[in-house]
Amino acid sequence: MKRVLVFAFAGVAAWLYFSQPAAPDVRPAPRLVTPQPGSENGPRRQLYAPGAAARVQTNGYELRPLKAFALKARALSVTHSRTGREADLSPTDIAFGWGRMADPTVSGQLSISQSSRWYYWRYSGTPPLPPPEIARSSANMHLIPADAEVARRLRAVDEGQLVALRGYLVEARAQDGWSWRSSLSREDTGDGSCELVFVQSIEIH
């Protein structure tokens, strides 16, 4: 849901305990065409004009595809949520890094953590990359599994692994008016800047 850039000149990395929730009750969804994963240039997105038939119902929420999405990146941090309305839909958050942020010798110089579905990175002294590049080359993503197998694979992702996934950036809505919309930009930061991804396939390398 959120990504915050925090600059600190002294501090110690805080590592979170990653709990493993049960697989959500999800139904198979339509297989939609998505682009190939991104490379050093970052995630790939394609504009998508969905019709009513393309909308997906899962766990009592309606998902409206906004853009086709594919990513190949390194998992910098992984958390699993059990509580809150968002957790019913998206139980897994992964902070991904691509480009130079996918290099462990670079990201290893940062203190990276997640808390309350926010993503934090800190450094001491001189940053390993210009801060704007860090912001453009990493993101916290809220991941919605398309089916039980995708949910299982998402729970299996560990920090440091390379992950390729395909799916859609979506807007989720409930009948009571609640909504949750993905960011569609790689330039934004702060509240609302995270991607909400309906994941249809995932490979762990």
Which sequence spans correspond to the domains of the chain? 2-204
For 87, list phi and psi in degrees, rounded to 5: -65, -30
Nearest to 152 by CA among 22, 37, 16, 61: 22
Q: Give the confidence band of 193 by pLDDT, cuts at 50, 70, 90.
A: confident
Check residue 42 and give its pLDDT: 63
Residue 45 has pLDDT above 70, yes or no: no
Q: Give the confidence band of 57 by pLDDT, cuts at 50, 70, 90.
A: confident
Residue type, 6: V
Lowest-pLDDT range of 39-53, 134-148, 159-173:
39-53
Region 164-186 average pLDDT: 92
Q: Give the confidence band of 47 by pLDDT, cuts at 50, 70, 90.
A: low
If one compares 17 and 77, the residue with the highest pLDDT of the two is 77
Cα angle 98, 110, 75; round to 5: 40
Which helix (H) or strand (E) segment is 92 a member of? strand 92-97
With contact defined as beta carbons under 8 Å apart, do 134 and 127 qualify? yes
Provide CB contacts within 8 A for 135, sequence distance 6+. Answer: 5, 189
Which residue stretches of the chain are H helix?
85-89, 104-107, 131-136, 148-156
Q: Give the confidence band of 194 by pLDDT, cuts at 50, 70, 90.
A: confident
Region 165-185 average pLDDT: 93
Residue 93 has pLDDT above 60, yes or no: yes
Nearest to 97 by CA among 9, 162, 184: 162
With contact defined as beta carbons under 8 Å apart, do 7 and 198 qualify? no
DSSP 8-state secondary structure symbol assigned to residue 176? T
d(CA 113, CA 121): 7
Check residue 56 and give its pLDDT: 87
Residue 67 has pLDDT above 80, yes or no: yes
Q: Give the confidence band of 17 by pLDDT, cuts at 50, 70, 90.
A: very low
Average pLDDT of the chain to the nearest whole number: 79
Composition of the chain by helix, strand, coil, percent to 5? 15, 40, 45
Q: Give the confidence band of 5 by pLDDT, cuts at 50, 70, 90.
A: very low
Q: Give the confidence band of 9 by pLDDT, cuts at 50, 70, 90.
A: very low
Q: Give the confidence band of 22 by pLDDT, cuts at 50, 70, 90.
A: very low
Lowest-pLDDT range of 1-15, 35-49, 104-118:
1-15
